[in-house]
Amino acid sequence: MQTWDDWQRSWDRQQEWYLPDREERFRVMLDLVEATAGPAPRLLDLACGTGSISERLLARFPAAVSTGVDVDPALLAIARGHFADEPRLTLVTADLNDPDWAQRLPGGGGPYDAVLTATALHWLSTDRLLRLYRDLVPLIRPGGLFLNADHMPQTGTPLLNAAHAAFERTRQERERAEGVLDWEGWWKAAADDPALADAVAARFAIHGSHADGDSHPAEWHAARLVEAGFREAGPAWRSVSDALVAAVR
């Protein structure tokens, strides 16, 4: 049986199978947090999963505090086990599809210095994503940040997109042969662990195999964030298939 720390590392490795530049995105996100909030930020880790963003935040900024929000009972179980002795992180169960999700935040919510999320909001339908963007504005202090790193494909570069996809398939096949778990394999392993089996079953009752949300280009997200009430927004990092959009409250 794996420990909670083992499961945290296993989740990160599975995510890196899809996102080999995942750590670079996290670094850029935290650089922007430090640039705007200094060394003691108050953060909301949105759709936090096992707490990957918060773990890197708290390691880099000893005076930081974070609130992690998610609805997935299995990933939250791993986070609660992994961070059991970490007083700087508060974990909250809330569904971002629920218009009242922010009412579950401790202390009435913000103002936060920054709200960060990674590889999560493409699970939401477009109408719910736009509502979420509006929800975030009053939770962030003036001058604070919202950072969304996610699948944001570029629509005008089909040849580049195809070449990148072929390269990534080759890399993934090589790493899978070396024993790296993909999404389906990871969840099967989690379901086989008695400590996680019930939480995994509950998770699939909520989500199924994967939610059918929408993906949009980075420029679309930036425009929608300004419409929602942020002062400015734009890409802060980009790969061929993914991007980090930063918005200033």
**How many domains does the structure of the chain reveal?**
1
The rounded distance, in Å, linking the Cα atoms of 221 and 99 is 20
pLDDT at position 53: 98
| pTM, full prediction | 0.95
20: its two tokens:
């080999």
The rounded distance, in Å, linking the Cα atoms of 99 and 102 is 8
pLDDT at position 211: 67
Q: The CATH number of the domain where 79 resides is what? A: 3.40.50.150
Q: Is 169 exposed, middle or buried (0-12, 13-18, 19+ CB in 10 A)?
A: exposed
Mean pLDDT by 10 residues, the chain (249 residues): 94 97 98 98 98 98 98 98 98 97 90 97 96 98 98 94 97 96 97 97 89 88 98 97 98
Give buried/exposed letters for 93-131 (b at 16+ CB in 10 A, else e): ebebbeeebbeebeeebbebbbbbbbbbbbbbeeebbee
pLDDT at position 210: 74
- Structural domain containing residue 14: 4-248
84: its two tokens:
């059991």
